[in-house]
Chains A and B, each alone.
Chain A
Amino acid sequence: MMHRLDVQPGECLDRRQVLNFSFEGRNYQGYAGDTLSSALAAAGVAYLARSFKYHRPRGILSFANHDSNTLLQVDGVPNVRGDVTLLREGMRVSAINTFGGLAHDKARVLDRFARLLPVGFYYKAFHSKRLFAVWERMFRALTGLGEVNLGAAREATPKRYGFCDVLVIGAGPSGLSAALAAAENGAQVALVDESLTPAGNGAPAALLDAVHASNAITHFPATVAAGYYADHWVALASATHMTKMRAKAVVFATGVIAQPAVFRNNDLPGVMLAAGAARLLAHYGVAPGRRVVFIAANLEAYLHCLEFHARGVPIAAIVELRAAPDDHAAVTACAAAGISVLPAHAPYEAICGPDGAVAALLVAPLNVAGQIDAGATRRLECDAILMSVGWAAAAQLFLQAGGSTRFLDALQQFVPQELPSGIFAAGRLNGVYDIDARLADGRRAGSQAAAHAGFGAPSSAVIARSKRCPSHPFPIIDHPRGKNFVDFDEDLQVKDLENAAQEGFDSSELLKRYSTVGMGPSQGKHSNMNALRILARYRGIGVEALGLTTSRPMYHPVPMKLLAGRSFYPERRTPVDAQHAAWGAVWMAAGNWRRPEYYAVSGESRAESIDAEVHAVRGAVGIIDVGTLGKIEVHGPDAAELLDRVYAGRYSDLKVGMTRYGLMLDESGVIIDDGVIARLGEQLFYFTTTTGGSATVFRELLRLNALWGLDCALMNVTGHRAAFNFAGPFSREILQGLTDIDLRDEAFPYLAVRSGKVAGTAVRLMRVGFVGELGYEIHMAAGNAVEVWQALCASGKPKGLRPFGVEAQRVLRLEKGHFIVGQDTDGLTDPYEANAMWAVAMKKPFFVGQRSLRILQARGPRQKLMGIELAAATPLPKECHLVIEQDAIAGRVTSVTHSRTLNRSIGLAMLSPALAEIGRDIRIRVDDGAMLAARVVAAPFYDPKNLRQRVDFRS
């Protein structure tokens, strides 16, 4: 049983500070510096979790977050890594995915049915049509890990940007020496390590001191390099924030990951990786047990053994898989300490004690061919089994960086083969194991990385790989009764992988997908290597021939809050936003902008307000903020030529002081935008685009101008300039009182543009008719817009002025029969279909979309945009209700409204050509399936002769 020892030299605990916490409802104490796992281990808690599939008890395995045995629910947060999460006062901790608590988990019965649950069993049954839903509910209840607290608030964490010359990932001996060498060459270095405890991993103290003394090295402790992205852009995740690090070169000193031996019941609590147990002992003063057996297949086992022995942990035996241990002083020292070694033996089965943890280990002789003599087992009493049989390269990030690896039989490890530009590897990842060699390899890589970043000359040292093999080629022991686990996350046994291969999933990728090996939270860190060995044996080929599955971020799973950071949404407001609010604006989104949908007036319903706004424009005067429209200026001798080419209309013959509608097409002849183009001078045009299209239209014009090399320049003044449409029968006389511009019809005809002043502010005035009344679009510098707005409102109010919003404008323009690009047109509508050929000058030599229009003309329209009218008493259809003809879809209502002005319901509809005749009766299907009768009519509906544009017109 695990227990806490007296103070250990170099431990990370502050034993004066006791922290109280609870686990599964019971109270425990730990020390400041403890992780959840170490505190629970110290308290003698035998197991921390139930396994994913069979609900077997599980305890600490790697103590490094390389398995999911210690995922916990902490204060409502699911899947907290017990191994690497610091204990805090008052934490409430529980196990995840249990039914009735950890000890009495009802789902533990599944362990007894393991034989009925072969690999992929869920593909093989449960799919009867009748019962699938029932089974599915059961599966969904059984799977999943921790529980999300649906009441938790969003946490917005900061993001930081980091820049360095050399990023070193891993602060073990090779990483530290790489960082120091790069710094000494003059590079700015960032050094990242995920461990909570002071890094070093056996590095000389002098090196640690020198690294910490260097001003050129920035430390990122307790930080995971979560993913490598293009151009040396690395996501560094700490507990509180993400740093996006841009490096000029990266040194991967990511080391190796301890791998378990695979034998029956190797998942019992008390069976641990020796490297993890050693950290638990040295840093947290927790002994793994009172009678420890080592399973050894490398030198590290003996080094660990001596360490445990020195700290007073009794060692029962070393079970050595190899015929003989290394010829090394550590081995001799173990013998001298009286520790018995059983060479050529293998663990055959761990025996479970009454507390659910390990009580003994059956071992059996292993012959040279790797065959076990199961008839000659012997029992070693023990309460802990520590495994040191081999390593897997922590090559995940290196592979993400585009590196390639090859498998070295001599080392039984994948090592880097090809390194992309600016990518370096060092230390055990490179297959360099002895401490001096790791230091030298780090210096070499650090120097080369610094040189790549432009600092100093690269080292030409060649560091030899380890001569001893640190990993056993096949630390996997078959057992007729199985439960020899390869993947602890997914509860996969040896036979599961063999059976998957037998079913045809015999490549590493297919094996992963069918068996789910490596797909759990630890992403195969402790399982992929052994799974490859099992597959290689099954197929009778070498591991090299199989290769690794693709490595993807995240290296360790990263909370969404760190990746999301703080939400950032730019919201644009026009300069008279506060004035809208004062009028009672009800907002709607228009791209990034917010616009008044209408202005609420107390005592009026929404519909009444919109009606009143329409009425004000038709009968008196109204004002709408149209400042969200894109606004572009084009200057230069070729300005007219540019517009002639990008718009379907002709602008070279537009007189100075006049405006003209502009329709923009794409190369295929589809309508993509529209606006009004004003000629302010021979070489100066000012024009508008739709609100949504402003950025893309401007950008496309820049591109075409760059392509054609015309002598003109474009300026996007959307944000610089505000714009209002001031419209209604009283608009002229009110505006005349505020401006020096002569508004008389002969001086300022319909569609003219003039410059001058309104309320003392320089403006451009355009006489436009979008809403169908006498009206002026007033464009001015954004900084002066408030004064102009207030002056217009003040002068207009006695005449009945109301500001009007987007909804009223939609009614007004619909009465006038104007279409809205994107609402009345769709992604395939051409000007023939939209009845907009009046805005197209086909005779021009060239414009974008012209050639396609010729083809489209020959093809004929597939649909036509037509006016429709419903009888006054008919309920209103909704936009996008369908027109049905002989039970087939024959069109769609694109806009519809009830016009109080006209006292009828009107709309636009995109109709099949057969229906697109004036006077044709059509039927519209509405929500409840009822059919409404409507008739195709001519648009505009209101003032078809445009009489209201006459200044002297009075209704």
Chain B
Amino acid sequence: MKVMVCPLNGPRPVSEFAYGGEIRTSPNPDTCSDAEWSAYVFNRSGSPGAKYEWWCHIASGFWFAVLRDTTRDVVVATYPAEAVRCGLTPLPAGGASA
């Protein structure tokens, strides 16, 4: 089983975590077009690559950000949720292989 290094709880088996999907930035709902909004709601960046994702350590209810290579299932780095608010370093367009 994969091991996930949680910023709060240290290395734990991945079965203790819930995956929260890719971290995506919402367009401004008041100014964006319907098309932009529906694209945000439904579309996903489905291609493999390095992605920022939400993960939650279920038992402690701790959400954090993970930079993960979705081709090889390798966790490159983890960040506390504050990092999401402060802005994560943008990845190269289309995702990059870590």
In the complex, is A directly touching B at CB under 8 Å?
Answer: yes
Query: What does the 1/0 interface line of A691-723 toward B look like (CB < 8 Å)?
Result: 000000011001100111100001010000000
Total number of A residues with any Cβ neighbor in B under 8 Å? 24
A855-B38 CB under 8 A given contacts A699-B61, A702-B56: yes
Query: What does the 1/0 interface line of B15-56 toward A look like (CB < 8 Å)?
Result: 000101000000001001010011011100000000000101
Please state if B1 and A706 are interface contacts (CB–CB under 8 Å).
no
- Report A669-705 residues with CB < 8 Å from chain B CB: 698-699, 702-703
User: Smallest CB-CB separation from B58: which chain A residue?
Assistant: A699
Please state if A709 and B85 are interface contacts (CB–CB under 8 Å).
yes
In the bound assembly, the distance between CA atoms of A244 and B3 in angstroms comes to 14
Interface centre among B2, B61, B85 (most CB of A within 10 A): B61
User: Smallest CB-CB separation from B55: which chain A residue?
Assistant: A703
Please state if A668 and B41 are interface contacts (CB–CB under 8 Å).
yes
Asked if A155 is at the interface of the complex by the 8 Å CB criterion, the answer is no
A229-B29 CB under 8 A given contacts A668-B42, A699-B58, A703-B54: no
Contact of A709 among B2, B29, B82 (CB under 8 A): B82
Of A319-327, A559-567, A778-786, A844-852, the one with at least 4 CB within 8 A of chain B: A844-852
A851-B63 CB under 8 A given contacts A702-B56, A707-B81, A707-B84: no
Contact of B37 among A698, A702, A709, A851 (CB under 8 A): A851
In the bound assembly, the distance between CA atoms of A231 and B2 in angstroms comes to 6
In the bound assembly, the distance between CA atoms of A655 and B1 in angstroms comes to 49
Total number of B residues with any Cβ neighbor in A under 8 Å? 23
User: Smallest CB-CB separation from A230: which chain B residue?
Assistant: B2
Please state if A699 and B42 are interface contacts (CB–CB under 8 Å).
no
- Cβ of A229: which chain B residues have Cβ within 8 Å of it? 1
Query: What does the 1/0 interface line of A225-238 toward B look like (CB < 8 Å)?
Result: 00001110100000
In the bound assembly, the distance between CA atoms of A855 and B54 in angstroms comes to 27
Please state if A699 and B41 are interface contacts (CB–CB under 8 Å).
no
- Cβ of A745: which chain B residues have Cβ within 8 Å of it? none
Asked if A667 is at the interface of the complex by the 8 Å CB criterion, the answer is yes
The interface residues of chain B, by DSSP majority, are classed as mixed
Please state if A703 and B63 are interface contacts (CB–CB under 8 Å).
yes
In the bound assembly, the distance between CA atoms of A858 and B34 in angstroms comes to 11
The interface residues of chain A, by DSSP majority, are classed as helix
In the bound assembly, the distance between CA atoms of A851 and B32 in angstroms comes to 10
In the bound assembly, the distance between CA atoms of A230 and B58 in angstroms comes to 21
- Report A826-853 residues with CB < 8 Å from chain B CB: 846, 850-852
- Cβ of A714: which chain B residues have Cβ within 8 Å of it? 61
**Would you give the shortest CB distance from B13 to chain A, in whole angstroms?**
8
- Cβ of B84: which chain A residues have Cβ within 8 Å of it? 706-707
**Would you give the shortest CB distance from B46 to chain A, in whole angstroms?**
17
In the bound assembly, the distance between CA atoms of A852 and B40 in angstroms comes to 11
Please state if B81 and A855 are interface contacts (CB–CB under 8 Å).
no
Please state if B37 and A852 are interface contacts (CB–CB under 8 Å).
yes
Please state if A230 and B1 are interface contacts (CB–CB under 8 Å).
yes
- Cβ of B82: which chain A residues have Cβ within 8 Å of it? 709
Please state if A850 and B61 are interface contacts (CB–CB under 8 Å).
no
Please state if B29 and A850 are interface contacts (CB–CB under 8 Å).
yes
Please state if A667 and B81 are interface contacts (CB–CB under 8 Å).
no
- Cβ of A706: which chain B residues have Cβ within 8 Å of it? 63, 81, 84
- Cβ of A703: which chain B residues have Cβ within 8 Å of it? 20, 54, 56, 63
Interface centre among A668, A703, A850 (most CB of B within 10 A): A703
Please state if B41 and A716 are interface contacts (CB–CB under 8 Å).
no
**Would you give the shortest CB distance from B28 to chain A, in whole angstroms?**
10
In the bound assembly, the distance between CA atoms of A389 and B36 in angstroms comes to 67
**Would you give the shortest CB distance from B33 to chain A, in whole angstroms?**
10
Please state if B29 and A855 are interface contacts (CB–CB under 8 Å).
no
In the bound assembly, the distance between CA atoms of A699 and B56 in angstroms comes to 8
In the bound assembly, the distance between CA atoms of A233 and B13 in angstroms comes to 10
Query: What does the 1/0 interface line of B55-98 toward A look like (CB < 8 Å)?
Result: 01010010100000000010000000110110000000000000
- Cβ of A850: which chain B residues have Cβ within 8 Å of it? 29
In the bound assembly, the distance between CA atoms of A531 and B24 in angstroms comes to 50
- Cβ of B41: which chain A residues have Cβ within 8 Å of it? 667-668, 852
Please state if A851 and B29 are interface contacts (CB–CB under 8 Å).
yes
- Cβ of A233: which chain B residues have Cβ within 8 Å of it? 1-2
A230-B73 CB under 8 A given contacts A707-B81, A716-B61: yes
A-B CB proximity, top 5 nearest: A706-B81, A851-B29, A706-B63, A231-B3, A667-B41
5 residue pairs A–B, Cβ–Cβ below 8 Å: A698-B61, A699-B56, A702-B63, A703-B63, A852-B41
Contacts A852-B38, A855-B34 supplied; 10 other A-B pairs, CB < 8 Å: A230-B73, A244-B1, A667-B40, A668-B42, A699-B58, A709-B82, A851-B29, A851-B37, A852-B41, A855-B37
Chain B interface residues toward A at CB < 8 A: 1-3, 18, 20, 29, 32, 34, 37-38, 40-42, 54, 56, 58, 61, 63, 73, 81-82, 84-85
